[in-house]
Structure 1
Amino acid sequence: MVKIPYGKGDFKRLRTDGQLYFDRTELLHELEAVGEQILFLRPRRFGKTLWLTLLESYYDIGAADQFETLFGDLAIGQNPTPNRNRYFMLKWNFSVIDPHGSHNDIAQRVHDHINDSINDFTIRYQKLLTLPIAIQSGNALSSLSRLLAAIRPLNTPLYLLIDEYDNFANEVLTRRDKGRESYHELVESEGVIKTVFKAVKAATDGLGLERVFITGVSPVVMSDITSGYNVAKNISQRPRFARLCGFTGEEVMQLNQQIALECELPEGAAEEAMSLMQNFYNGYRFSGADTTRLYNPTLCLYFWDEWQQLCRYPNELLDDNLAMDKNRLRYIASLPMGLR
């Protein structure tokens, strides 16, 4: 029986538990060639976090002994890039930042989150580090500078992963109470988002930060910080990377056939399920030059998990985890001519 990883976004766990994974690792060669600072945008719950955990497992210098277990039977395992297990890995997840309160409140939470990630870094790589990294409370950018200073003598560069870079900023923007005003405080010259990304940009200029991969749902925040971080290459609509996240129609049909077989359903059951998923989930197209339609993995996994366990379709075809919150609906309804 195929193991459906509904609600799970950790590549290492998927692989070690033998859960469903559709291989995308052949794209790592092209990702390395396309640029060192990459922005990749997709809707909510579209597999972005899973992809970042894959990058983390593949490039982590401390995970070299796990390479065969995690990647051995995948495309990249048969033909790895020279950068395999070459980096110190640092990861920020901005979806955990509480968007409520004043700009100073939010800024402090951002600094706390970055400091926490640097503290985790020191624990994770304590056997490789030769210099201490002093955490500067209230000034995570100073902590980042100290981290870079500590790793430079080791000749092992840093790879920074930023998940949901625009999450808390979007939440602030859609707040009913002074949302736009608070948002502009975040992205203006002294705003915390702009200052953080200015520091990231500076760190790539020979200071030890070699690669950055950023995920989010919209280019708006990146555009609004203007020169703060104008070096990222947005690959979101490039045809070659259209299927980086999400399931193709062929993959959806493959799982439908497998579950229909497991449940001993009559002939045509897989096709019927495919028709239902097409009607309700349709298929996204992220590039005008590529006709490939992609299905939201969270919706598909939700559907398969219910269908496999009960051998019937779920009563509710929309996963509540993807429901849009009321504040966002109100915000959209209040902008008949768009945000200006």
Structure 2
Amino acid sequence: MKYPIGIQDFEKLRTNGYSYVDKSRFVYKLATEGEYYFLSRPRRFGKSLFLSTLEAYFQGKKELFKGLAIYDLETEWKKYPIFHIDLNTANFREKDSLYTVLNDYLTTWESKYGTRESEATLALRFKGVIARAAEKEGCGVVILIDEYDKPILQTLRDPELQAEHRAQLKAFYSVLKTQDRYIKFAFLTGVTKFGKVSVFSDLNNLTDISMATVISASAE
């Protein structure tokens, strides 16, 4: 028996014979019963692996789920455009560090879905690329954000930089509300409860499942 210690990639776990506690029934339940979710957990609690599992599901990688509960529950295995942002590995203690990270993600997506000259801010670029991806692929997009609060937590001793990060994140995350018609599913994780970080004041459609008991129930 091989234990997946430190492995955060679902495809790597499944293709290399590691043990896996089947959480795919919960993936199906979340994907079919709601649209916007938030999950708060301490680090090393499997948040990144769960996001990777969601990503594989929305990529339609049916073969990775063979033998798991979702394999027989899902019938379509449709592929969706996915915007996966991982803020877990970056260092946000330097000025413009958050801009650099988000700009890198946006540049990659824009190389596939295009851009407009008028999209001068990170939020406008995010808004535009979501719309273009949905229109090009003919379906809603999936947005996965890991450790949404790390730029804030890493700058607790630098109030000025923290305020800058907070303003950037507030505008960036507000796109999830303004582009609702183009979004199929969104899942955000972090260490802190989102109400305490104040970057979601414009986003009131997130369902916080951090303490929810329904997630532990079996999907019918």
CA distance in 1, matches of 2:116, 2:106: 6
| Aligned-residue offset at 1:138 | 6.8
1:262-273 matches, within 5 Å, as none
- Deviation string for 1:198-237 (max 9, x for gaps)? 1222111x2x222110011111466512522222110010
Alignment counterpart, residue 240 of structure 1, candidates 202, 214, 219: 214
Residue 4 of structure 2 aligns to a residue whose secondary structure is coil
Listed one character per residue, the Cα deviations across residues 119-175 of structure 1 (whole Å, up to 9, x for unaligned) are 57x2xxxxxxxxx513879733333334222431542210000011011211112x3
Match for residue 51 of structure 1? Answer: 50
> Match for residue 146 of structure 2?
163
Separation in 2 of the partners of 1:184 and 1:144? 21
Match of 2:163 among 184, 208, 231: 184
Distance in 1 (alpha carbons) for counterparts of 2:210 and 2:216: 7
Long gaps (5+) in structure 1: 123-131, 244-340
Q: Is the 8 A contact 1:88 1:158 kept in 2?
A: yes
Larger % of helix: which?
A: 1
Please give the alpha-carbon distance, in whole angstroms, between the structure 2 residues aligned to 1:242 and 1:172. Answer: 34
* Unpaired stretches in structure 2, ≥5 consecutive residues: none
Identity of aligned residues (%): 26
Query: Matched residues in 1 for 2:153 and 2:116: separation?
Result: 28
DSSP 3-state at the match of 1:73: coil
SS of 2:11's partner is helix
Distance 2:151 2:125 in 1: 22
* Aligned position for 2:127: 145
Q: When the two structures are superposed, what TM-score results if normalisation uses the length of structure 2?
A: 0.85
- Relative distance call for 1:241 and 1:113 in structure 2 (3 A) is farther
Structure-1-length-normalised TM-score: 0.57
Distance 1:226 1:166 in 2: 11
In the superposition, relative to structure 1, how do residues 107 and 228 fare at CA in structure 2: closer, same or farther (>3 Å)? farther
Cα gap change, 1:226 to 1:13, in 2 (>3 Å):
closer
Does residue 134 of structure 1 match 2:136?
Answer: no
Q: CA RMSD in A?
A: 2.6
Q: Which whole-Å CA distance do the structure 1 matches of 2:150 and 2:98 have between them?
A: 14
TM-aligned CA deviation for residue 90 of structure 1 = 1.2
SS at the partner of 1:99? coil
Structure 2 CA distance for partners of 1:139 and 1:185, relative to 1, 3 Å: closer
Tell which structure's C-alpha radius of gyration is larger: 1
Aligned residues: 215
Distance, in Å, in 1 between the alignment partners of 2:43 and 2:212 is 19
